[in-house]
Structure 1
């Protein structure tokens, strides 16, 4: 395999591999460098082919093979394909939730913790999958890793549907989660591959729809399927949807990771020209590593980011907290509206629309404002962009999140008319979207060369919390009640409100003081 991609450092962390450039040297003693730079006008300069020095890059700055130069229609089609599957995979995380009671009746399982585990184990797959799928995509390319993982997800739906006991179902759900985690993780890399900084906010907003809206739509469909057909049809539907989406991806998807594309080009030109001295512009001046060394370093990359970068660790902690609150919400909604409001299992899924509409509103706000705010702040900063410019709006959205816990908790506790607690979930949906999108875009801006690995750290940590925290939700609400149980979450959310201020004020200092050599 080819050598590992170029490193980023604190000085150039806002530049990705697609933005690498080098200065052509006239002396044979001088070696071209792969230090990422930009022209004074902030125009990205891409590395070009220089056969006299044995360097293979793009044919020109406008090379149509460079993913950054794809037409807008091609870019959005590719992103839409990834986003479509990114909706199906999170759909599977919660779609089974309302139907789990029917599965429990069939298998004779009454332990609430085991039943909850059969749902949340899927997110454990989200915890482990990104840690090796993301680095592999930075070695072998996005397309092949995404394709294999998506088909892996689809195949395990068959195992879930045909399970004869709960143990088999839990194992199949775990493996399905591992496969389904690819689109959640690699989407960040595809956004970095295709879109310049100026449009990444909008692109990230569209890609983020799936991971946030999928878990909301899931219980709605799953409730009616479990009630009117069978719980097995939850998985047959996921098989049909996933298989159809992946067939479309197979037809239209293209490789987008620049270093891998150039690596293929090097191999092709070396064969055509009969030269053995050709080298990728993305690997110039780098240490030559064996395949084993590349794999080892790449697979460690998400852990290195999490352990050695305080800003990544802090963002992971904050995102995990908010994500955990979402799944704690999910533990109560179905029971509240079936037990206290007399909804059927199918109708109880409609209660999730409060959060879902909040997500849609938050997504719309972020899509039309995020890039514009960054552009304005960059202009006022003398044209110099800083990733922390993604963060100011987080203060507002973080302040909105706690509202829902007090509103929903006490109105549900006092059995206020059913529409009131549903509306009470709306602020949480808006706030969560307004927190997630800036964090994910910030990570892409900081580590575009390794956006998939950086996002893997976010995905793994938040999925672990999302899987484990709901297991404690039922005992907590049984002890404190809906009112005080949700109020406790609301007070904790209030404590976290100032966290975005820390990111805005000290994020750059922390990021530059503790750079990570990837």
Structure 2
């Protein structure tokens, strides 16, 4: 086995001229193989003692240890489990909403602020989680944090379902929200670890079906469950599903993060031989310093990377609109159209159909367009993912205008639901395209980039919907949704801006925050 000095460059992992982040991402994608050990001499003065350091990294194209080389069956099983977990955690945020009046009645209060808080506190927890838990996955690996979050979610759901007062319920829902953020944000990391760029759009599309479908199915289930078995069973359902996911994940999930896999291999070799082994991802810093770096990485992305900030802002605006609809649909369809609580849940079907159509069309288009552009330009670029974003930027305001004025004039109930179909499709285009774009742009640190976006989205989703009911009370459904539509329309130029200038900004060293 060939060896080389530590100072020798390794062409397989040399940074490209475009971006150090892209270089690390290409390392994860292109370095396939059985672990190889290379000896390297440590120069005097660089270490406190002269020793032979053995460098552990990938070798060759076919090593089954590399997640990029796993079988499709294993890859899709993992993506399916993460999507199911994301579905369950997103279901919580909406399945509970129809039962809020029953909760207030059971605990003898009519405080409208408490009613909003019981729903939004979960989203607030989802805003905290990405900044605290998800970055740790880039230090310890995806698996430990994912397992821990799944178990924490299940326990918090059991406590919530058993609540004896509103304070207990609110605190447990906050903890559920914190835990729920992990599968939603780490999902993009799992996909980036296993899928090459030309297949990543389809994989991200399939994964995101879970979290978005949970938002829509929740109110439908919740409305009928509250009518027939009570609000507590909406939470017990989450606990039962959470228990199943914990068991399935412990059995079938595997670590996919390349640096963690290599570090574990180095530890095995060190234990077996007594020699010192390391990886290219190892650092001389202390564990505390590495943890601090991991925790601050999403903040750096959000405030020092214009690309992350731009896509996060628009994604957050559309996300908050989705929650405005979630928190007002029941009132609109009960008061305007005389629906029962169970029937009011059917008002969410327009959004759901929009999500499904968005999933099918973006999934079909994304990877095919990327491959076509590769043939034209000679390489694949993250910006090739962006064209559907343009369509999404216009579908959202069109849907808001349609929904608002048709409900204002009390047209047949199917008419506003058709309007929400366009909103749902537009939201899916925005959310999926921005997430795949971030994953492609920052492959190795995909979890942190997506965490930054999700944290801002959840802050918007937890706060802006609180103004939804006062907005409609003041302006009415017509002008209220028109105002929201014009705000969304004002963000439309960002899609054209990213198409034209995204690559030059993304690869500009001035806008590359230091991630290590």
* TM-score normalized with structure 2 length: 0.91
The whole-number CA distance in structure 1 between the counterparts of 2:157 and 2:491 is: 38
2:214 matched to which residue of 1?
Answer: 214
The whole-number CA distance in structure 2 between the counterparts of 1:275 and 1:269 is: 8
Q: Is the 8 A contact 2:324 2:464 kept in 1?
A: yes
The whole-number CA distance in structure 1 between the counterparts of 2:309 and 2:239 is: 35
1:199 matched to which residue of 2?
Answer: 199
Q: Is the 8 A contact 1:85 1:246 kept in 2?
A: no
**5+ residue gaps, structure 2:** 17-22, 41-53
Partner of 1:432, secondary structure, is helix
**5+ residue gaps, structure 1:** 1-23
Structure 1 residue 397: Cα displacement: 2.1
Query: Does residue 330 of structure 2 align to residue 334 of structure 1?
Result: yes
The whole-number CA distance in structure 2 between the counterparts of 1:36 and 1:186 is: 25
Q: Is the 8 A contact 1:25 1:31 kept in 2?
A: no
Structure 1 residue 384: Cα displacement: 2.1
The whole-number CA distance in structure 2 between the counterparts of 1:134 and 1:66 is: 22
Q: Is the 8 A contact 1:88 1:242 kept in 2?
A: yes
Partner of 1:361, secondary structure, is helix
Structure 1 residue 25: Cα displacement: 7.2
Deviations 1:168-193 (A, max 9, x none): 21111100100111100110110111
2:501 matched to which residue of 1?
Answer: 506
Among 12, 17, 37, the residue aligned to 1:50: 37
Q: Please give the residue correspondences for 1:103-142 in structure 2 after superposition, counting only pairs within 5 Å.
A: 103-142=103-142
Structure 1 residue 373: Cα displacement: 0.7
Partner of 2:411, secondary structure, is coil
Structure 1 residue 494: Cα displacement: 1.7
Partner of 1:240, secondary structure, is helix
Q: Identify which range, 121-130 or 43-52, moves more after superposition.
A: 43-52
1:516 matched to which residue of 2?
Answer: 513
Structure 1 residue 387: Cα displacement: 1.2
Q: How many residues align?
A: 488
1:279 matched to which residue of 2?
Answer: 278
Structure 1 residue 327: Cα displacement: 0.9
Residues 415 and 217 of structure 1: CA distance in aligned 2, closer, same or farther (over 3 Å):
same
Among 364, 379, 384, the residue aligned to 1:384: 379
Residues 403 and 25 of structure 1: CA distance in aligned 2, closer, same or farther (over 3 Å):
same
Query: Does residue 14 of structure 2 align to residue 35 of structure 1?
Result: yes
Deviations 1:140-182 (A, max 9, x none): 1111110000110111111211212222211111001001111
Q: Is the 8 A contact 2:4 2:38 kept in 1?
A: no
Q: RMSD across aligned C-alpha pairs, in angstroms?
A: 1.8
The whole-number CA distance in structure 2 between the counterparts of 1:59 and 1:400 is: 47
Partner of 2:444, secondary structure, is helix
Query: Does residue 444 of structure 2 align to residue 449 of structure 1?
Result: yes
Structure 1 residue 80: Cα displacement: 0.4
Deviations 1:220-268 (A, max 9, x none): 1111111111111111111111111221111111110011011010010
Q: Please give the residue correspondences for 1:412-423 in structure 2 after superposition, counting only pairs within 5 Å.
A: 412-423=407-418
Structure 1 residue 133: Cα displacement: 1.5
The whole-number CA distance in structure 2 between the counterparts of 1:43 and 1:447 is: 12
Which gives a bigger RCO, structure 1 or 2 (Cα 8 Å, sep 6+)?
Answer: 1
Partner of 2:434, secondary structure, is helix
Among 298, 314, 317, the residue aligned to 1:318: 314
The whole-number CA distance in structure 1 between the counterparts of 2:285 and 2:443 is: 22
Structure 1 residue 515: Cα displacement: 1.1
1:5 matched to which residue of 2?
Answer: none
Structure 1 residue 56: Cα displacement: 1.1
Q: Is the 8 A contact 2:32 2:68 kept in 1?
A: no
The whole-number CA distance in structure 2 between the counterparts of 1:308 and 1:28 is: 33
Residues 253 and 222 of structure 1: CA distance in aligned 2, closer, same or farther (over 3 Å):
same
Q: Please give the residue correspondences for 1:283-294 in structure 2 after superposition, counting only pairs within 5 Å.
A: 283=282, 287-294=283-290
Among 269, 277, 296, the residue aligned to 1:300: 296
Partner of 2:423, secondary structure, is helix
The whole-number CA distance in structure 2 between the counterparts of 1:89 and 1:396 is: 28
1:359 matched to which residue of 2?
Answer: 355
Q: Please give the residue correspondences for 1:19-98 in structure 2 after superposition, counting only pairs within 5 Å.
A: 26-27=4-5, 30=8, 32=10, 34-36=13-15, 44-46=30-32, 49-53=36-40, 54-98=54-98
Among 405, 408, 431, the residue aligned to 2:403: 408
